[in-house]
Structure formats: structure tokens, C-alpha cells
Structure 1
Amino acid sequence: MENEQKDDKKKKAPFFGARHVQCILMFFGISAAITQRTNLSVAIVAMMDKNSANPDFEEYQWSEKTKSYLLSSFFWGYFVTQIPGSQLAHRFGGKITLLLGIVLSALLALLTPLGVHLGDWQVLFGLRLCQGLLQGSTFASVHTLLSKWILVEERNSLGTFCYTGLPFGSVLMMLVSGWIASSTLGWPGIFYFAGLFSIIWGIVWYFFGANTPRDCKWMSEEERLYIEAALVTTSKPEPENATMKTPWLKIFTSLPFWVLLLVQCAYTWGFWTMITEIPSYMKSILKQDIQSNSLMSAAPYLANILLTFVFCVLASFLIKRGYICVNTSRKLFNTIGFWVPIVPLILLGYMRADQSELALVLLVIIVGVNTASNLGFLINHIDLSPNFAGILMGITNGAANVMSLLAPLAVGVIVTDANDVQQWRIVFYIIGGMYFVCNLLFVLFGQTKIQAWNYPKTHDLQRAERDEQI
């Protein structure tokens, strides 16, 4: 009788429990991190245009080249700490690395207005560089946490929900920035908002965040047993897992890993080109002022958030009903997210100032539908290796963020005249080409089965073979 009761405990868990709270906290943590990254994209429009900003604050006459340096500066630092940050998250757990990265970066956001006043664009570049260094462990930390908290059948829903914090943070920043820049706070208020939002999140995360179910003191025993029993076949229990050596050679000779890396690079190039350059495109080509600019820039990311939930429900429905397997689901939704936006991207390069409404519709399709890929490549790291999901994310995100660094620089080289729509057309063609080629590779060579190198020790190879058959 006692054994039956224990089995029931393992099989049951609350519909809403600690794992959901952790995902909500990670959602807002990613949102906080993104507000710090994207605040400059809109703020720089106000900083360089006295007509669209509060006239009581300084105006800066930076060239388009300098502007591209500033917009890419965050990623110079962000790239450097991707792999070291993932190693720290793997060793010490994702909670502390996520906390320190976001909160310390927030302090620099609060210092940004003073820094740019004292040292012009050079100090601003340095501050953004340091913020990138601090935030390098963000996504590796989240992936490390998800691999300990989220069940296989919940990856589509809860895993994707966490990363919806990325467009949510973008929308939040874009919506408030136009209002803040035109208020008595001026453009400095944009940086203050991002900093304070991140610090408030950090306080809540410190008290309620946890590395693993075992570390969470306030969750129910039933839910803890449920999660640990469900994950026992894919990740080794602590503390052995904390000291497991990373199989670097096997990772770097894995075809599914390289395909995943290329897809993430393409996604990141497209995402950060759009998010950093849309405000400038709106102002230069569609002739929108700072307030309407921020609203129009935010609309596609609002659609991105809403469609994320639609795609999550659809994916769960198709898998639970047995219409498609996990592997097909990953490739199907990645294809929707990459190939559907290609035609709208190309058309966007042919818009005129009097077609701002049509341009907005195209942007909503491009950015909104792009979220389907979150159910494709974004959680494929955990599919391939739950034990090293954070490290895989550190590697792929590090490579991908070379794209984040190069994308605004490339725009700066291509778009020498921001009012020339033909130059913007080239930018959109490049994104479309990358989307097409990299998704084709993912469809042909991507995998979802757990790789044998997830279990470095010899006696674990049998477990790997068993998991591949499931």
C-alpha cells in the first residue's frame, strides 16, 4: 500500500507549481536583460534628433558609422563571455550566474546617462561593452536551469514561454521609450527604466529562484518527486552531474550540433538586425516621429508574443494527438519561422513613406511568424544533451552573437545613406537568404534524439542507446 502511495506521488504534480513559478521568473529575467540591450536602439534616435526628443537634453551629432559601432558595442563583450559563462552556470548552477549578470549590468545601465554626458560616445561604447561581458552567461544559465526543471513533454510550452521574455522585453522597451523620451525624464529615463526593472527582478529572483527542484525549499514534495522521476533518464543526479567533464571533441564533431549552430546564427542575424535597425528604418524611410516610431517598432514584437502561445498550443496538440513526432515538430515550426518571413522581408525593401501601414503589416508577419522557430532550434540544445544544454547554448550563442556584432556593422557599411531604400533592400535580401539556406540544413540534418556524448562515462552508453529508442 505504501509503495502504491509513493508511486502516486511520483506520477502526480500540481497543475501550477514551482516549476511554473521558475519559468515565470526566468521569463521576466530574460525580459529584463533584453530591455538593457534594446534601450539604446530607440534611445539613440532621440539622442541624435532634437526635434523628436525632449529639447532639454543633450543632442549628439554622431555619424552613421559611429552609430553602428554603438549599436554593436554590447555584443563585442557579450560574445567573449558566452563559453566561460556557460561553464560557470554548469559548475555553480544557473541561479547565481543569471542573477549577477543581469543585476550588475543593470547598475551600468543606470550610469549610462552620466557616462555619455562626461565622455560622449566613447564612454557609452565602453559601458555597453561591459554590459555585454556581464550578460554573456544569460541564455546558458536559463538553458541550464530549464534542463533541471522542465520535463520533455513541457519543453514546447514552458521552455518556449521562458524565451518569450525576449520579445516581451523588446515590446516593453519600445512602448515606454517613446513616451519616456518625450516626457520630463528625456532619453536618460529610457536607461533608468531598464536598470530599475532589472534590479527589482533581481531581488525577487534572489528569494524565489532555485538551481534545481532539490534546492527549492518551498515546493511540494509531490512535485519534486514528479520532476526528478521524469528527468532521471536524461540527466544525472547532483552532485555527480556538477563535476561531469564536458566532451568538447565529441560536441565539435557532431553534425546535429553544427547544424544547430548555423541555424542559431541565421536567426540571431535576422533578429538583431531587425530589432536594432527598425527604429532607424521607420524614421528614415517611413518618416515616423519618435512616439509613433516606438509604437510601430513594438507592434511586430507584440505579435511575436501572441503568436508564440498560438504555436505552442498547436505544437502540443499535434504531438499529443500523435499527428507528428517531436523531430517533425521541431523541423516544421522552424520552417514556418524561417521560410514564411522571406517574401515579406523582400517586399519590405520596396516600401515608400506613404505605405507605412503596409510596411507595418509586413513587419508584423516577419517578426511575428519568426517566433515559430522558438519551437524548433531554440530548445534543440536540450533535446541533444540535457546534461550539457547550458554549455551547448553558450557555444552556439557565442557564435550567433558574432552575428549580433556584425549585423549592425554590416548595416552601417551597406546603408551609407539612411534615406536610400535601395540600400535597405540589400539588408533585407541578406536576411532572407540566410533564413532559407540554414533552415534547409536544419530540415535535412537536424536531430532531436539524445546524443551518446550526453553520457561521457562508458557505463552510461547503454542508457543513451535506450533513450534513442524511445
Structure 2
Amino acid sequence: MEKNPKYESERKGSFFGARHVQCFMVFLGLTVAFAQRVNLSVAIVAMLDRNSTNPDFEEYNWSEKTKSYVLSGFFWGYFVTQIPGGQLAQKYGGKIMLLVSITTSSVLALLTPLSCHIGDWKLLFAVRVLQGLIQGCIFPSTHTILSKWVPPVERGSIGTFCFTGVQFGSVVMMAISGTIASSSFGWPGIFYVSGLASLLWALVWYFIGASSPSDYKWISDEEKVYIESSLVTVSKSEGEEHKPTKTPWIKIITSPPFLVILIAQSSFGWGFWTLLIQIPSYMKHILKLDIKVNALMSSLPYLVNMCLTFAFCGINDFLIKRDYINRGTSRKLFNTIGFWLPVAPLILLGYMRADQSNLAVGLLVMLIGVNSAAYLGFLTNHIDLSPNYAGVLMGVANCMANLMSVLAPLLVGFIVTNTEDVGQWRIIFYVTAGFYFVGNLLFIIFGQVKIQKWNYPKELQQQRDHIKFQPVNAEKEVY
């Protein structure tokens, strides 16, 4: 087959290098961060029913409404610091913000069992809110790092790979939680394991993490030139890498392509967190699965989700590098797979019975598995629109997405007053399907990958109005 000259320069930088090390560390960072988020989802089953695991530990008598408050506590804090987190990551760099966030959050994870013992659900709620506040900069920091490290042609592969840490952390935590809770460590061990793993990551990240190629002393000159010449960013002189620039807030919040990302990300957030938080309860009360089986079955959909992410990344690279589709089509194609294919399984879940537990788990595996395709859709679109403000865009969009994460558990607590009534769960699944359908429809109609003018300083915008600007190695822009 004849070589495509468009990608010859990208092939030269395709070796395993420093950018892959950084992306792998970001992957692990998201893994431990999400382990801290989901640990309560399984642990709370044991906390409310000591006979389901090791009976030697405390049991709490919380109502379903109180349980919903506790489960939503993390997100009350999390959505508040998304926008400030993006600004801080832009100013100080992604490395330091990830390090501070995950380290302090891990300490709180270790203190969670003590907080329950001292202050019951109220102090637990406060700790979860504080964890959310601290972790608010994680996604904006991740996008800031990726915008500096990952060339445009690799965003669909190694860029998206970083976000599989979300599923991997969920899979590992859910899979081992039941075993830990049944062991001599009891349900407190779930929080100790996630906290200690996070501290270990932070130690390694301190020594080998870097906000950009210019900050990394072990990168080769060849790879550094490859990365920096490929990225569509405003040139900065040495030592000014993290110098703050004025954020064009009005242009950002009135930009139709960005508003579509915001809606899509909010829709995804509603579905993702509704399922992640509520699956253990749904499996226990509707499918009648004990906590060990529950934990394993709850993790299975996210294991498939992670595996399919790798598959979708490979398909995406194959289609784009052979010019079968362009970048804009790719974003909309995979977003459609991730949003619309789960709609039918979601609706069917509302009609499952206890004797159909295998079918119900199969539906969960299907809908959560293909949901991963959306990571190649809206989730990398922020960097397409504005490499310079990718962290800020992620902060704003994730703020709204996690506002949904606060509202979703509360809606479940309001509607599902009887956890054994499948009809009440049916309403939750219908609402989630509706979010997925509308979110993707708007993304298909209005989504773009063209770099927006407000990505550049005013003086560069004026230059671009008079000359045709063609970035080195940049892909063809799609309107």
C-alpha cells in the first residue's frame, strides 16, 4: 500500500517515549482517583447490613434518603471546584495540581472509617464533600497535560487511553470490595486500600510526572521537537510555559460548539454516575445478588467498557490514518455509538425480574461497554476547539456534568422509595435514556472540531485574519 505522506511525520514519532510514560501515569492517577470515588458505592451495602459481610464491624441504620445524601456528597464538592481547577491547572501546570489533589484526597479516604465512627453520616457526608472539592481539578488538569503532551493525530489513541483509568479504577474497586469487606479488614478496609494505593501513585508521580515536554528532563530532543511542532498552540518561550493568560470567558460560554460539548458531557455524566452509584443497590434489591457476587457483577460492565475503549481507539486510528473518515466524522460517529446504542438496554432494564438476573447483567454489560465509545467523541473535543484553554473548557463542562451527578442520586432517592419496586427503577432508566438521546442529537447537529478564534491572543487572531495559518502536522479542519 502506498504511504500516506500526511502521516509520515507522525510515524517518525510513533516509538514508545516520554509522552507514553506521562499518559500511563495519568491513566494510573485517574485509576486511583476513581477508586476513591466509587469505594463508598459498594462499602455502603456492607455498612447498612453487617450480616452481608464481616459482622464484627459497625452497622448503620440510615434511611434511603440519607443514603442518597451520603452517596451524592462527593459531587456536592466536586462540581464547585471544576472551573477554579481549570484555572489553577492553566496557571501552575497539571502536574502539581494532580499531585496535591490526589494526595490530600487519599488522606481523607484513610480517615473515612474514623469519620463514620465519630460523627455518623453527617461527618461522612462532610468528608465526601471535602474529597469532592479537592478532586475538582483532576479532569481539568488531565486535559491541560494532554494538550501539552499528545499530538493531535494521537488524541484518539494514547490520549483516550488515559481516560480508561476511569473504568479501570471502577473495575478494580468494585471487584475487590466485596472480598475486602468479607475479610478481617471489614468494610473499613475498602477505604484503606484505595487510600494507600493513591499515596503510592502520588510518590511515583512526584518524581517522574511533568506538566509539559520542556519540564521533563528524560525526554529525547527528537521526541520533544516532534511533540511541540505537532501541537496547535501559541508559542511560549522557555520559562513561560505556565504564564497565565486572560481567559476569554464571554466567548467561551457563548460558543455554540462548546455549549454542545457541555450538554453532551452533562448527559453522559447523568448516565455514568446514575449507573455507577446505583448498580450495587439495583443488583441487591431487584436481582437479589449477595455482596460478593454483587461486587463482581457490578465491576464486569466496567471491565468490558475498558476493553472496548481500546478496541474503539484502534478502530478510530485505522479509519482516520487511512482517510476513510475525518476527525469531525470520527467524533460524531463514536459519540453516537456511545450514547444511542445504550438506550434500548436501559429501557429493558426497567422490566427485569430476580429470575432474569443473568439477562439483566448482560444488558448492563452491553450498555456500559459501548458507552466507552463516547470517550472518542465529546471527551477529547475540548482540545480540538481550544488547545490553549483545554483545561478551562473541561473545568466548565465537567462542572455542569457533575452538577448532574449531584442531582442524579437525589432523584433516585426521591423516586425509588421502595428499592424492591422495579417500576420505580424503570422511571430512572427512562430518564437516563432520554438524557443520552438528546445529548447526542445536539452533538451530531452542532458539534465541530475547528479550532476557535478565541483560542489565540488578539494579536495572533489579527495575523490569522490576514494570512492563511497552517499548523505543522495538523490534521484537516472540519466545519
* TM-score normalised by length of structure 2: 0.94
Match of 2:295 in 1: 294
Inter-partner Cα distance in structure 1 for 2:372 and 2:416: 27
Task: Give secondary structure in 1 for the equivalent of 2:186.
Answer: coil
Q: Give 1:415's aligned residue.
A: 416
Q: Could you report, residue by residue, the CA deviation over 1:168-195 in whole angstroms, capped at 9, with x for unpaired residues?
A: 0000100110100000000000000110
Q: CA deviation at 1:458?
A: 2.9
Q: Deviations over 1:180-226 (max 9, x none)?
A: 00000000000001100100000010000001100001111111111
Superposed CA deviations along residues 240-299 of structure 1, whole A, max 9, x for unmatched, are 663221111110110001110000000000000000000000000000001000000000
Q: Which residue of 1 aligns with 2:112?
A: 112
1:203 equivalent in structure 2: 203
Q: Which has the higher helix share?
A: 1
Residues 185/461 of structure 1: CA separation in 2 closer, same or farther (3 Å cut): farther
Change over 3 Å in CA distance of 1:9–1:164 after alignment to 2: closer
Q: 1:9 to 1:351 in 2, by over 3 A?
A: closer
Indicate whether 1:92 and 2:92 are aligned.
Answer: yes
CA-atom RMSD, angstroms?
1.6
CA displacement, residues 363-409 of structure 1 (integer Å, 9 cap, x when unaligned): 00110000000000000000000000000000000111000111101
Q: 1:390 is matched with which residue? A: 391
Q: Mean Cα displacement is larger for which, 183-192 or 9-18?
A: 9-18
Q: Residues 405, 281 of structure 1: CA spacing in aligned structure 2 closer, same or farther, 3 A cutoff?
A: same
* Structure 1 equivalent of residue 310 of structure 2: 309
1:466 corresponds in structure 2 to: 469
Q: Does 1:234 align with 2:237?
A: no
Cα pair 2:93 2:242 within 8 Å, conserved: no
| 1:35-67 Cα shifts (integer Å, max 9, x gaps) | 000000000000001221210001111000000
Alpha-carbon distance in 1 for matches of 2:384, 2:44: 39
Give the deviation of 1:229 after TM superposition: 1.3
Partner of 1:136: 136
Deviation for aligned residue 1:159: 1.1
**Alignment pair present for 1:37 and 2:37:** yes
Structure 1 residue 138, shift from structure 2 partner: 0.3
The aligned length equals 462
What amino acid is aligned across from residue 197 of structure 1 in structure 2?
A: A
* Secondary structure at 1:164 match in 2: helix
Tell me by how many angstroms 1:463 deviates. Answer: 4.1
Indicate how the Cα distance of structure 1 residues 155 and 411 shifts in structure 2: closer, same or farther if over 3 A, else same: same
Shift in CA distance, 45/219, structure 1 to aligned 2, threshold 3 Å: same
> In structure 1, what is the equivalent of residue 248 of structure 2?
247
SS at match of 2:388: helix
DSSP-derived class of the 1:380 partner: helix
| Distance in 2 separating the partners of 1:125 and 1:96 | 27
Percent of aligned pairs with the same amino acid: 63
1:405 paired with 2:406, answer yes
Equivalents in 1 of 2:438, 2:14: separation in Å? 43
- Structure 2 CA distance for aligned equivalents of residues 425 and 461 of structure 1: 54
Matched, 1:344 2:352: no
SS class of match (1:243): coil
Structure 1 segments unaligned to the other structure (5+ residues): 1-7
Q: What's the offset of the Cα at 1:353?
A: 0.3
Unaligned stretches of 5+ residues in structure 2: 1-7
Aligned to 2:125: 125
Question: Shift in Å at residue 313 of structure 1?
Answer: 0.5
**1-structure distance, mates of 2:202, 2:462:** 40
What's the CA shift for 1:466?
A: 2.9
The 5 A counterparts of 1:73-88 are 73-88=73-88
Letter in 2 for 1:261: L
Aligned to 1:4: none
Aligned to 1:431: 432
How far apart in 2 are the matches of 1:421 and 1:175?
Answer: 25
How many angstroms does 1:236 deviate by? 3.0
- Contact kept, 8 Å, 1:180 with 1:186, in 2: the verdict is yes
SS in 1 for 2:247: coil
Q: CA deviation at 1:13?
A: 3.3
Task: Please tell me whether the aligned partners of residues 160 and 313 of structure 2 are also in contact (alpha carbons under 8 angstroms).
Answer: yes
Q: Secondary structure at the match of 1:142?
A: helix
Give CA deviations for 1:91-137 in whole Å, capped at 9, x if unaligned.
00000001100110000000011110111001100100110010000
Aligned to 1:5: none
TM-score by length of 1: 0.96
Deviations 1:312-342 (A, max 9, x none): 0111111111111000000000000000000
Cα 1:97–1:396, aligned 2, differ >3 Å: closer, same or farther? same
